[in-house]
């Protein structure tokens, strides 16, 4: 059945704002990436692919930020997913205690990144922080560290913070996925005399794969974009060891006013994210199981 | 069994202890924090940090700015996204699909990609240092996810309902307000909470567009406390508590909706 033409009016306000404040700036990023614009003066020159060349060949810091991003992403994706899955399996059944615990584990998700950054800066503080004091208490004071000041460790300290921040959210996604598995399948497995491991391997895991893929995809994107946390905790330091692509774009655009170059980096960033998202959606599709 | 219970408790403590430290530290003086950073306040609870943060800072102003920006961003995003969701559902043709794809593509673009040109656009439009500017950008950047969730939901509603209303002579606006919106309330409330958390906590756009104290929102103000109070954690944590209070209170009462909302974007 046809609806009246007035339906097109429904798109107007949203499309209008979306076009001006989202589509247009995103496309102009592509345009500015071929210029040497400094963001302030009214004139700029076209420089061809010079910015891209510089990003790929001349800029060692950029290479480092990509490496940092991958390190951060890998640690967060692997450990956050494992933690979330392991705990989801424990708090799966709905009882008063598990419902309370799920709500507690989820709690950090609702805080702002800045708040989480302050909390963990205090935990990591070399002299005041609980982490070093705890290590001292259990006789491991040789492990005590300047957790955010040590260039070899800082990125992992940030990854731990990110996991504390978001593992509860992923846990809830797993619980939703696990609870959707029909109870009968477990009963069949029981009747057939399957062991705990066999049940997990043959019932839980294959049916869990879709939510696992969602968690991994979501975590990957989330960790790729972890701008706020890094910005508030280390600002990319010490010695660029925690600089990730997002904070690097901010730095070159708003601290050294190389808008053209920052645009080129952001285009590359977008392409990387698009590729990752595409790959994950492909895996997600192929993993889909119906029952 | 013991091991399971033990790990549950450890995880619970990992969440609770940092939160307890935040609350206790906000009730200590700075001198005591340095002497006794983790213990119970020795000389009783001090509420001075709370009174002095309101005296030294335009805290009430930041708070009000956050409320205004969040309220308008959430409600307008929901309004516009539900209009679009309804439109796509009713059109059910290639134009609708195209619009849907246009918005979903936006979910893949990180905010950092467009921030540089967006900044100069905002300068040109005279929308920096303005709450309106923040609201407009917030709407534009969260429309993709909101359209995605709401369209997905509205497409599952029975078509016959809309068609019956059309036969009864109801126009699109009437069907939207009387049929589509009431039926979409579960999805709308989940999206609302998702947006509420996102907008209340947003740092990037205030950081880019706001320099004037009169227009700062809580996360930006909080970030700048770091420069001002440095390692004065009692002050910083007092700020954290004030900034998180509305969210925490809402979470306690609407917990189920929070969990639904914060996972809706990921699951769908």
Interface check for B132 against chain A (CB to CB < 8 A): the answer is: no
Full domain range(s) for residue A255: 59-286
Q: Which of residues 213-242 of B touch A (CB under 8 A)?
A: 218-219, 222-223, 226, 231, 233, 236-237, 239-240
* H/E element, A272: helix A259-287
CA distance A114 to chain B (A): 6
Residues B37 and B69 in one domain: no
Cα separation of A115 and B165, whole Å?
49
In a domain, A30, yes or no: no
**Is residue B88 located within the same domain as residue B189?**
yes
Whether B40 and B99 share a structural domain = no
State the average pLDDT for chain B.
Answer: 89
Predicted confidence (pLDDT) per residue in B198-235, tens digit:
999 999 999 999 999 999 999 999 998 888 887 788 88
Of A90, A164, A227, the CB nearest to B8: A90
- Taking the C-alpha atoms of residue B16 and residue B9, their distance in angstroms, rounded to an integer, is 10
All residues of chain B having their beta carbon less than 8 Å from the beta carbon of residue A173 are: 263, 266-267
A100–chain B Cβ distance below 8 A for any pair: no
Alpha helices (H) in chain B, listed in sequence order: 2-26, 30-35, 48-56, 59-91, 94-108, 111-124, 131-154, 159-167, 172-175, 181-183, 185-201, 204-209, 218-229, 233-267
Look at chain B and report how many structural domains it folds into: 2
Q: Is B8 part of any domain? A: no
CATH code (residue B72): 1.10.3720.10
Q: Are residues B25 and B64 in the same domain?
A: no
Whether residue B217 is contained in a domain is answered as yes
- Domain assignment present for residue A85? The answer is yes
Contact B37 A129 (CB under 8 A): yes
In a shared domain, residues B23 and B74: no
Q: Indicate whether B40 and B112 sit together in one domain.
A: no
Asked if A60 reaches chain B (Cβ–Cβ under 8 Å), the answer is: no
Q: What is the ipTM of this complex?
A: 0.90
Number of structural domains (chain A) is 1
Q: Are B24 and B97 part of one and the same domain?
A: no
A185 is a domain residue = yes
- Domain assignment present for B164: yes
Residue A209 belongs to some domain of the structure: yes
pLDDT at A120: 95
**Does residue B7 fall inside a structural domain?**
no
pTM here is 0.90
pLDDT score for B264: 67
Structural Rg of chain B based on CA atoms: 23
For residues B251 and A111, give the distance between their C-alpha atoms in angstroms, rounded to a whole number: 11
Of B257, B17, B111, give the one whose Cα is nearest residue A245.
B111
Q: Is A18 on the interface with B (CB under 8 A)?
A: yes
Q: Cβ(B44)–Cβ(B32) under 8 Å?
A: no
pLDDT range class, residue B268, cuts 50, 70, 90: very low
Domain assignment present for residue B52? The answer is no
State pLDDT tens for residues B133-158. Answer: 999 999 999 999 999 999 989 998 88
Same domain membership, residue B110 and residue B227: yes
Does one domain contain both B40 and B122?
no
Same domain, B119 and B222: yes
Question: Does residue B24 form part of some domain?
Answer: yes
Which residues form the domain of B36? 15-45
Tell whether B30 and B111 lie within a shared domain: no
Q: Would you list the DSSP string of B20-86?
A: HHHHHHHTS-HHHHHHSSSS--TT----HHHHHHHHHS-HHHHHHHHHHHHHHHHHHHHHHHHHHHH
pLDDT at A291 over 60: no
Answer whether A266's CB lies under 8 Å from A29's CB.
Answer: yes
Q: Is A44 part of any domain?
A: no
Q: Is B92 in the same domain as B181?
A: yes
Asked if residue B144 belongs to a domain, the reply is yes
Contact assessment for residue A185 and residue A205, using Cβ atoms and an 8 Å cutoff: no
Please tell me which residue, A207 or A234, carries the higher pLDDT value.
A234
Integer CA distances (angstroms), B105 to B30, B95, B99, in order: 49, 15, 10
**CATH number, residue A274:** 1.10.3720.10
Which helix (H) or strand (E) element contains residue A273? helix A259-287
User: In whole angstroms, what is the distance from residue A3 CA to residue B24 CA?
Assistant: 60
Residues, chain A, total?
Answer: 291
DSSP 8-state symbol, B203: -
CB contact under 8 A, B243 and A259: no
Asked if B122 and B137 count as a contact pair (C-beta separation under 8 A), the reply is yes
């Amino acid at each position: 059945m046809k609806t009246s033409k007035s339906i097109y009016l429904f798109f107007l306000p949203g499309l209008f704002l979306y076009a001006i404040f989202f589509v247009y700036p995103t496309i102009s990023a592509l345009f500015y990436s071929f210029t040497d614009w400094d963001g302030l003066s009214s004139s700029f020159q076209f420089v061809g692919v010079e910015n891209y060349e510089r990003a790929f060949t001349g800029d060692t810091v950029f290479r480092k930020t990509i490496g940092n991003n991958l390190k951060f992403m890998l640690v967060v994706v692997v450990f956050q997913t494992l933690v979330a899955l392991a705990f989801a399996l424990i708090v799966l059944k709905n009882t008063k205690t598990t419902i309370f615990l799920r709500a507690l584990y989820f709690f950090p998700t609702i805080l702002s990144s800045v708040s989480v950054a302050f909390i963990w800066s205090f935990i990591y503080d070399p002299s005041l922080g609980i982490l070093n004091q705890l290590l001292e208490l259990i006789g491991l004071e040789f492990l005590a560290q300047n957790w955010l000041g040590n260039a070899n460790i800082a990125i992992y300290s940030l990854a731990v913070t990110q996991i504390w921040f978001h593992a509860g959210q992923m846990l809830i996604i797993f619980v939703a996925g696990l609870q959707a598995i029909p109870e009968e399948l477990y009963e069949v497995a029981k009747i057939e005399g399957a062991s705990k491991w066999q049940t997990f391997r043959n019932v839980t895991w294959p049916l869990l794969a879709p939510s696992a893929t969602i968690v991994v995809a979501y975590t990957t994107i989330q960790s790729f974009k972890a701008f706020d946390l890094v910005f508030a905790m280390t600002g990319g330091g010490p010695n660029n060891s925690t600089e990730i692509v997002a904070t690097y774009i901010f730095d070159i655009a708003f601290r050294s006013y190389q808008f053209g170059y920052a645009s080129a980096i952001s285009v590359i960033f977008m392409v990387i994210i698009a590729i990752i998202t595409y790959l994950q959606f492909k895996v997600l599709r192929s993993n889909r199981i119906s029952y | 069994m013991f091991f399971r219970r033990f790990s549950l408790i450890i995880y619970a403590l990992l969440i609770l202890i940092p939160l307890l430290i935040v609350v206790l530290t906000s009730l200590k003086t700075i001198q005591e924090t340095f002497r006794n950073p983790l213990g119970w306040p020795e000389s009783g609870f001090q509420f001075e940090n709370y009174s002095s943060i309101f005296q030294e800072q335009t805290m009430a102003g930041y708070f009000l700015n956050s409320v205004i920006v969040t309220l308008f961003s959430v409600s307008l995003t929901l309004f516009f996204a539900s209009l679009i969701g309804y439109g796509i559902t009713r059109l059910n043709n290639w134009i609708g699909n195209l619009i849907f794809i246009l918005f979903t593509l936006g979910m893949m673009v990180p905010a950092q990609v467009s921030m540089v040109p967006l900044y100069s656009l905002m300068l040109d439009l005279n929308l920096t240092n303005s709450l309106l500017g923040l609201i407009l950008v917030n709407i534009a950047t969260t429309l993709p996810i909101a359209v995605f969730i709401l369209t997905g939901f509205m497409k599952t509603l029975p078509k016959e309902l809309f068609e019956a209303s059309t036969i009864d002579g109801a126009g699109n606006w009437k069907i939207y307000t009387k049929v589509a919106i009431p039926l979409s309330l579960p999805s709308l409330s989940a999206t609302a909470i998702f947006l509420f958390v996102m907008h209340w906590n947003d740092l990037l756009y205030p950081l880019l567009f706001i320099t004037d104290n009169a227009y700062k929102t809580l996360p930006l103000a909080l970030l700048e406390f770091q420069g001002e109070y440095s390692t004065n954690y009692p002050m910083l944590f007092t700020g954290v508590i004030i900034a998180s209070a509305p969210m925490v209170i809402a979470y306690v009462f609407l917990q189920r909706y929070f969990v639904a909302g914060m996972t809706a974007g990921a699951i769908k």
